[in-house]
Amino acid sequence: MLIIASSNGAIGIDQAMQALKKGGSALDAVEIGIRLVEANPDEHSVGYNGYPNIIGELELDASIMDGRTLDSGAVALMRGFPYAISVARQVMARELPHVLLAGEGAERFAREIGAEHWGEMLTDEIMAVWRKRMTAVGATQWVARRPDDILVPADDAPLLDWVKLATDPERVEGTVNFIAIDGKGDIASGVSTSGWAWKYPGRIGDSPIIGAGNYADNRYGACACTGMGEMAIRAGTARSLVLYLKLGLSLGEAARRAMNDLRDLGGDFIGGMNLIALNPKGEHIGMSSRAGGSYIYQTEAMDACQERAREVVEIPARWGREARE
């Protein structure tokens, strides 16, 4: 039994391992671990109290994948429900012939299955951070949002300009990854995020996109990503890594090749990227585009998780057309 996670998963990895030890499935462990991160008010890139989008609304994305069958479930742009990973799992588990539900449809589904609803998902502290950032970039066209009279950008406010000013490569990272191998050798992977701080409303990252931010296949292994999701979407990173394993590469070679694919991306917007991956033998690896990163892992023989350094494939950040000129 093995669980690997991004380092912000430390709050959940031990409970996830305890579930595996009691005979729980890899899917159970992934869900349990991620829920604890989603409920953590001090984690601002996942679940409750994450950084909101540019109009001060929290939109959550998550996905889960079952390596036995390649069944998957995902939600995107979901508001008001903290446990996006559990709703994603139900998209997969229920008699529903879909993989990904977004926005009002995801919220409707969450209501229909009785998912926990918290409504207000942001603390005053986070709203103050958001407001300060908006004021700093000259966002001035505010109107009162009923019924609470909180000031938010007007419908015709120039969000395109504000997003460009408010966002920088450091603010597009975050997200939690969990990958587990259970006592039967089955593999599952899960990802949950509140996405970029100050993103354009409706922006969806790699986390709910199967093949981009998340992929698991019992036969070859699994991969999950954090970082600038647009890059993982463009390179198909999680699926690519698992496909490289299928083609016979070692875990290290497959991970390096998936990172090289990201490094080779053109275009004007390149930020930081990280991934974790494992194979059915229980070998695992973490990669990052920057030095200093780590991930965590725990086996059934360990009382607590340990941290391991991520290997680096450097990807220089560039932000906007002017960065290339």
Active site residues: 175
Closer residue to ligand GLY, CB minimum distance, 152 or 273? 273
Is residue 206 within the footprint of ligand GLY (CB under 6 A)?
yes
| Span near ligand GLY by CB under 6 A; candidates 52-60, 133-141, 190-198, 282-290 | 190-198
In angstroms, how far is the first alpha carbon of the chain from the final one? 50
Instruction: Decide if residue 8 touches ligand GLY (CB under 6 A).
Output: no
CB of 299 to ligand GLY, least distance (A): 27
Applying CB under 6 A, which of residues 24, 153, 205, 211 lies at the interface with ligand GLY? 205
Residues 6+ apart with CB under 8 A from 292: none
Per rule CB under 6 A, count of chain residues that contact ligand GLY: 12
Interface with ligand GLY by CB under 6 A: which range of 15-23, 132-140, 226-234, 255-263? 226-234
| 296: β partners | 5, 307
47 binds ligand GLY (CB under 6 A): no
What span, in angstroms and rounded, lies between the C-alpha atoms of 251 and 243? 11
Q: How far is the CB of 177 from ligand GLY (least distance, A)?
A: 9
Question: Does 53 engage in binding with ligand GLY (CB under 6 A)?
Answer: no
Which of 224, 165, 169 has the alpha carbon at shortest distance from 200? 165
Q: Is 226 in the site for ligand GLY (CB under 6 A)?
A: yes
Nearer to ligand GLY, 29 or 204 (CB): 204
Read off the amino acid at residue 115: A
Enumerate residues 6+ apart whose C-beta is below 8 A from 170.
Answer: 272
Q: What is the nearest approach in angstroms of ligand GLY to the Cβ of residue 117?
A: 22
33 binds ligand GLY (CB under 6 A): no
Per rule CB under 6 A, is residue 63 in the interface with ligand GLY? no
Nearer to ligand GLY, 145 or 263 (CB): 263
Q: Is 167 in the site for ligand GLY (CB under 6 A)?
A: no
Q: Of 195, 211, 221, 272, which one interacts with ligand GLY (CB under 6 A)?
A: 195
Where along the sequence are the contacts to ligand GLY (CB under 6 A)? 175, 193, 195-196, 205-207, 213, 226-229
